[in-house]
Amino acid sequence: MERLMIFIDGSNLYKEVKKTFGNNYGLRMDKFLEILTRDPAYRVIQTYYYNVRLIQSYDPQSYAKQRRFLSGLIRIPSFEFRPGRLVKRPINYKCPKCKIEVKPPICAKCGIPLPTETLTEKGVDVFLATDMVSKAFDNLYDTAILVSRDGDFVPVVKEVRRLHKKVINADVPRLDGKPSLLSQICDQFVPLTKEFLKEALILSG
């Protein structure tokens, strides 16, 4: 029986589910993992979930939804949430009315108020990449399931495979039907179709 570890790019998975199936859909993580690990050839060692905690003052509704979601994760066996962080960045902004690049807080041409900063995710990709490579190097798993579409993980997968570990990519199929770069360099691809996910998909409101 092969030792299995699962590495989930949480933000990427969330966005692809919403984009492909509709904004009213979400995932029950416990059911998702149950579906993903039904193959009796594998023994799940650990699942790592990578995301950032939202900031309440920026979006109270999304913050409350995420808190409910995260509170359910602690009941999943052999599951660890690995949080990155959100960093505020100043931005230049294209005025939606004038269609010109302007500096916040107001458009100098039409006077409408504009946002002065944006939030950028930091640390998530680094945590995932570090965990995936270091645990392969320490021989803590035989097979990894990487749930993501992010092409930045291509060098990570190549290194893990160089360490003689199998990597399975699980991702929502692209709308254009073309394989992602990440899926092409993994040993196997598991398409997260609506049919495959039917037991895990929920209407999130």
Does domain 2-84+123-203 bear CATH number 3.40.50.1010?
yes
Q: Mention every residue, 6+ apart, whose C-beta is less than 8 A from residue 159.
A: 133, 136
The answer to whether residues 76 and 47 touch, using CB atoms and an 8 Å cutoff, is yes
Rounded Cα–Cα distance for residues 14 and 50 (Å):
11
User: Where along the chain do its domains lie?
Assistant: 2-84+123-203, 86-120
Model confidence pTM above 0.75: yes
Number of helices (H), then strands (E), in the chain: 6, 12
Q: What letter would DSSP give residue 117? A: E
Peptide bond into 105 cis (omega under 30): yes
State pLDDT tens for residues 16-69.
999 999 888 889 999 999 999 999 999 999 999 999 887 777 778 887 888 888
Rounded Cα–Cα distance for residues 170 and 147 (Å):
5
With bands split at pLDDT 50, 70 and 90, how would you rate the model's confidence at 205? low
3-state SS of the chain: helix, strand, coil percent to 5? 30, 30, 40
At what angle are helices 60-73 and 29-36 packed, to 10 degrees?
A: 50
State pLDDT tens for residues 75-121.
999 999 998 766 566 565 666 566 656 555 566 666 556 555 565 66
With bands split at pLDDT 50, 70 and 90, how would you rate the model's confidence at 171? very high
Q: Mention every residue, 6+ apart, whose C-beta is less than 8 A from residue 13.
A: 27, 147, 148, 172
SS3 label, residue 128:
helix
